[in-house]
Structure formats: C-alpha cells, structure tokens
Amino acid sequence: MSGKWEGSTRRHELPDDWPQRRAYVLARDEHRCRWHEHSTVCGQAATDVDHIRPGNDHRYENLQALCSEHHAIKSSREGNEAPRVTRWRPVERHPGLL
C-alpha cells in the first residue's frame, strides 16, 4: 500500500462494470454473508459486496458478499484504522519556499 490520501473521502472508486461485478459476487457467494469470526460463518442474507482488502482492487477474489450489518462493522473498523495511517506525515523542508 502506498501512502495514498484516504479517510477524507470514504467512497471508493468503483469501476464502470461494478453492478455486474456486484451481482456476480452475490451469486457466487449464494447471497449469504461470508463474514466469519471465531470459526463461525454469519450466513445471513447478503445485500452488500465488500472489498476484503480496502482499496481499489476490484478483482473477484478481493470481493465478498456481506450482510449490511457486517459490512457496517467492517467499514467502521477500517475507518478506525485509517487515522493511524494518515497521521504519518513526512516532514520536508524546502529552503526555497521560506
């Protein structure tokens, strides 16, 4: 991951064929939430398609079906981690700018 500017806009850039990808992933995952924690799979009706690793990787292997509840949980966890990443700022002094 590069030090991209994230956090100010929570919207990911989605490809033009996102509706098709979304439908494909929901069908592949049988419209069931793939959230698993403590070796238990959620299995509720999935309404959302999530990026397993946040970012702009829209390949099918990085997409999974989630129920709206778990999608919200995952998004909020990612949101909580974002400030730690963006806090890092290189300090560079350009003598010419002063």
Which residues are at the interface with Zn ion (CB under 5 A)? 33, 35, 42, 44, 67, 70
Report the nearest approach of Zn ion to the CB of residue 95 (Å).
54
Nearer residue to Zn ion within complex by CB, 72 or 85: 72
CA-to-CA distance for 65 and 70, rounded, in angstroms?
10
Report the nearest approach of Zn ion to the CB of residue 65 (Å).
9
Nearer residue to Zn ion within complex by CB, 47 or 86: 47
User: What's CA 2's distance to the chain center, in Å?
Assistant: 15
Inter-residue contact 33 to 65 (CB < 8 Å): yes
Q: Which two tokens stand for residue 8?
A: 């100010």
Report the nearest approach of Zn ion to the CB of residue 51 (Å).
16
> Which stretches within 17-88 are classed as H helix?
18-28, 68-87
Nearer residue to Zn ion within complex by CB, 42 or 82: 42
